[in-house]
Amino acid sequence: MASFLATSAISYSPVNNGSMGFGKSGGFSKGRCCIKAMKIEKSLEELYNVKVERKVSPERLSELGVSKWSVWKTGKSKLPWDWQVDQLVYIEEGEVRVVPQGSKRYMQFLAGDLVRYPKWFEADLWFNGPYQERYSFRAYGDD
């Protein structure tokens, strides 16, 4: 899987060396024009379809029933991980850096974030200290 997706945007920038106009042949009679290409990188969240809600409200957590979800804890570690199903995670303590397989870039999620990892996503998870999350596996159509 690619580590980033770049799309090109083309813009037209005339360089004014006098009056711009078309001659009878269809070319420019005076002046020149330039075409510039820009690289636009998508965020890793967008590229890998990872959804995140930051600083989730108690009302939202209650609506989802987060208090009834399973708990998972770890300390400082690195884990290779792959998701066989969609998983919804609420981070209660700590932070995680998620490095998608084949990427040199990472996503960072902190306590208070609600993260939805898509099915078949593969990444290395880096924990810098104590970490605790509540998680729920999701079926297609669950939201």
Per-residue pLDDT tens for 77-121? 999 999 889 999 999 999 999 999 999 999 999 999 999 999 999
**Model-level pTM?**
0.70
Per-residue pLDDT tens for 9-58?
A: 444 445 454 544 444 445 554 556 667 666 667 888 888 889 999 999 99
CB 66 within 8 A of CB 116: no
Instruction: Give the tokens for residue 130.
Output: 């104590």
Burial class (CB in 10 A: 0-12, 13-18, 19+), 89: buried
